[in-house]
A and B are shown apart, each in its own frame.
Chain A
């Protein structure tokens, strides 16, 4: 692995979005987004298609004009600048390589546009090729490359002019799983060694969790939550975030009692469960969220209070590292994910089981 820190001294810049909105006619593609990507941070915009994440990225790149709001790079607005004057690297989903140019010509393009000398262009193109391990492919035509190699060319081309920020729009969407995992490592390695700020757009939650320093979850043009991967997974602010990131169970009920350390809900089935303390009025309709891996088929070892619900196993899926059960209870069908343990107890279809989980892993949202 080449150490790039010496030669590629691109220092990351801070990107600040202030109340950024974009309306297409009546449709609000992006609504009042404010966030900051710190210098050298890997920030992912995560959301389903139509969430406004790509529109946000294209506004930063300069291809979509915001209806409202501002975009600041290191405190300076770039709204008045055309895309070619923003000096941001952009990697497109389709790679957008120039089919009439060789690999080396593609990578040299941004340097040619900046009217650099031929010796500098040659040297920096070679460095960029080495960075993505494509030195042997400099003279190939683009259509002679595999998808993964094309992706590397696109990456090298967007970094060769040492931009302080790299914008990536679903760059790995077209690759198969194995190649995708390999490229994830590669992107992370390059980002770390260059110290560059990355704003990465994806709909793949697993990819977002692996790559990001922080994740911004978008839905219907709005920013739902921004935080570290563990924060957004473990402490989702909205039911949407909870259901979009990983699997989750939702139980509907009424907020009955509120104590310092916990709240009590009455479920539609009449049973009561304890949850984390809810900042919601007594009597309000609420929904409780529990992650499948927080539920166990065995009672807890400590004498800490645990919720217990009875149910019948409907489906049982063997996933290798874990076993996933769908358990039907009068209130709902719950997903349970138990780690596979050697002497562990396994339930079978039709068996009546009791589900145990801690009030601490039960989050409450307004219904």
Chain B
């Protein structure tokens, strides 16, 4: 009896969370299928005209292209650097370890607008504003802590004698890493990579400052779509982004389940 009461309360809270947090985001889905020139809910007529525009207009297409290429580059760079950093932090006996951790995690704590302004100052001098490398660098800094957290968590769970075993069996340090450590931490790496991708793909504050006019990303394009006109393409773009986020979340939860399943069983 007590248990079912607790279950009911839990279900009630979960329901409230859904209503207040998730439902408002979902409102863009019906809005995106609206037929007239306004952002409107509920829609008066159904049409896919704003999706057609989204895929047809060059500024939206180039913004989407920029977002994807930047996010992919960030994913590769942040995952590689973050994995190396996590390996060093978990295993190495390095001096000033806590200082490195603090610096690496600072972008998570510092308000995005502060990061944006300070990066703008430096990047403007280096002529990186509005360039592809500039955007990739800025987003890599933001994505790095997520990668380090995820990879470090997997590394901490790993039994180090497995890598030692590989070494004793004739694998060089590099072979042991490639043949044993890497396959074992792969689920964590993929989760970290997805986090890095989303961090870059969704990011708007830093992008507003750094992207300039040359490498406008999708969130920046959406921002200007709302800022200067109420453009219903924003709704269709939001719906597509939402779909991408949901797919990523599903991928992450599947991978995490896989990750726990493949851990070393108790002897």
Q: Quick one: CB contact mask for A45-79 with B, threshold 8 Å, 1 for yes? A: 00000000000000001110000000000000000
Judging by beta carbons under 8 Å apart, are A113 and B168 in contact?
Answer: no
Residue A161 is within 8 A (CB to CB) of chain B in the complex = yes
B169 touches A157 (CB 8 A): yes
B267 and A100 form a contact (CB under 8 A): no
Separation of A267 and B99 alpha carbons in the complex (Å): 63
Q: A66-104: which residues lie under 8 A (CB-CB) from chain B? A: 82-84, 86-90, 92-100
Per-position 1/0 for B143-171, Cβ under 8 A of A:
00000000000000001011011111111
A82 touches B167 (CB 8 A): yes
Contact A98 B171 (CB under 8 A): no
**Docked CA distance A96–B179 (Å):** 14
Q: Which of B84-130 contact A (CB under 8 A)?
A: none
Tell me which residues across on chain B come within 8 A of A175, comparing CB atoms. Answer: 267
CB distance from B173 to the nearest CB of A (A): 8
Which partner residue on chain A sits nearest B184 by CB separation?
Answer: A100
A55 to B: closest C-beta gap in Å: 14
Residues in B211-267 with C-beta less than 8 Å from chain A: 262-265, 267
Dominant SS at the A interface?
Answer: loop
Contact with A along B168-185 (1 / 0, CB 8 A): 111111011001100110
Q: Are A158 and B168 in contact (CB under 8 A)?
A: yes
Interface hub of B167, B168, B172, B265 (most chain A Cβ within 10 A) = B168
Docked Cα-Cα span, A288 to B44, in Å, equals 102
Taking CB as reference atom, which chain A residue is nearest B176?
Answer: A84
Q: Is the CB of B169 within 8 A of A100?
A: no
| Residue on B nearest A61 in the bound complex, by CB | B168
Selected from A93, A99, A157, the residue in CB contact (under 8 A) with B184 is A99
Q: Give Cα A94 to B173, complex, Å.
A: 20
Docked Cα-Cα span, A105 to B211, in Å, equals 49
- Assess the B161–A92 pair: CB atoms within 8 A: yes
Residue in B159, B169, B263 whose beta carbon sits within 8 Å of that of A110 in the complex: B169
- Residue among A86, A96, A99 with the highest chain B CB neighbour number at 10 A: A96
Cβ contacts under 8 Å, A82 to chain B = 167, 172-173
Residue A83 contacts which of B168, B263, B264 (CB distance < 8 angstroms)? Answer: B168
In the complex, what's the smallest C-beta–C-beta distance from B178 to chain A, in angstroms?
Answer: 11
Contact indicator B175/A96 (Cβ below 8 Å): no
> Do B267 and A150 have beta carbons less than 8 Å apart?
yes
**A89–B167 CA distance with the chains assembled, in angstroms:** 10
Contacts of B263 in A (CB 8 A): 99
**Shortest distance from the beta carbon of A191 to any chain B beta carbon, whole Å:** 18
Interface string of B184-208 (1 = CB under 8 A from A): 1000000000000000000000000
Interface residues of chain B: helix, strand, loop or mixed (majority): helix
- Determine how close the nearest CB of chain A comes to the CB of B92; give it in whole angstroms: 15
Please name all residues of chain A whose beta carbon is closer than 8 Å to the beta carbon of B164 when the two chains form the complex.
Answer: 61, 63, 83, 90, 92, 96
Q: Smallest distance from the beta carbon of B225 to chain A beta carbons, Å?
A: 46
A326 at the interface (CB under 8 A from B): no
- Whether A84 lies near B267 (C-beta < 8 A) is no
B170 lies within 8 A of A110 (CB): yes
- A298–B175 CA distance with the chains assembled, in angstroms: 68
Between B162, B165, B167, the greatest number of chain A beta carbons within 10 A of the residue's beta carbon is seen for: B165
In this complex, the interface size class of chain A, counting residues with CB under 8 Å from chain B, is: 35 or more
Q: Which residues in window 104-147 of A have CB below 8 A to B?
A: 109-110, 113-114, 142-143, 147
Q: B175's closest neighbor in chain A, by CB?
A: A113
| Cα–Cα, bound, A114→B159 (Å) | 24
Q: Which residue of B lies closest to A96 (CB)?
A: B165
Per a CB cutoff under 8 Å, which of A84, A92, A96 touches B170? Answer: A84
Bound state CA distance, A123 and B164, in angstroms?
26
Residue A185 at the chain B interface, CB threshold 8 Å: no
Say yes or no for A347: interface residue by CB 8 A criterion. no
A87: chain B residues within 8 A (beta carbon): 170
Fill in one digit per residue for A233-277: 1 if any B CB lies within 8 Å of its CB, else 0: 000000000000000000000000000000000000000000000
Contact B162 A98, beta carbon cutoff 8 Å? yes
Q: Which residues from chain B contact A147 at a C-beta distance below 8 Å?
A: 267
Inter-chain contacts of B167 with A (CB < 8 A): 62-63, 82-84
- A contact residues around B169 at 8 Å (CB): 84, 90, 109-110, 113, 157-158, 161
- Within the complex, the shortest CB–CB distance from B266 to chain A, in Å, comes to 8
Task: Judge whether A96 and B161 touch: CB under 8 Å.
Answer: yes
CB contact between A174 and one of B161, B162, B267 (< 8 Å): that residue: B267
CB pair A96–B172 under 8 Å, yes or no, is no
Chain B residue contacts of A84, Cβ below 8 A: 167-173, 175-176
Chain A residues closer than 8 Å to B162, beta-carbon distance: 94, 96-99
Given A89-B168, A150-B267, A158-B168: A98 and B180 within 8 A (CB)?
yes
Q: Which residues of B contact A93 (CB under 8 A)?
A: 161
Contacts of B159 in A (CB 8 A): 94, 96
CA distance A83 to B170 in the complex (A): 7
Nearest CB on A from B91, distance (A): 13
Tell me the complex Cα distance, A143–B175, Å: 23
12 of the cross-chain contacts (CB-CB < 8 Å) are A61-B164, A82-B167, A84-B168, A94-B264, A94-B267, A96-B161, A96-B162, A96-B165, A98-B165, A100-B183, A109-B171, A143-B264
Known: A109-B171, A157-B169, A174-B267; 16 extra A-B contacts, CB below 8 A, are A61-B164, A83-B168, A84-B169, A84-B170, A89-B168, A90-B164, A90-B168, A92-B165, A94-B159, A94-B267, A96-B161, A109-B166, A113-B169, A114-B170, A154-B165, A175-B267
- B residues lining the A interface (CB < 8 Å): 159, 161-162, 164-173, 175-176, 179-180, 183-184, 262-265, 267
The 6 closest A-B pairs by CB, nearest first: A96-B165, A147-B267, A113-B170, A110-B169, A90-B168, A83-B167
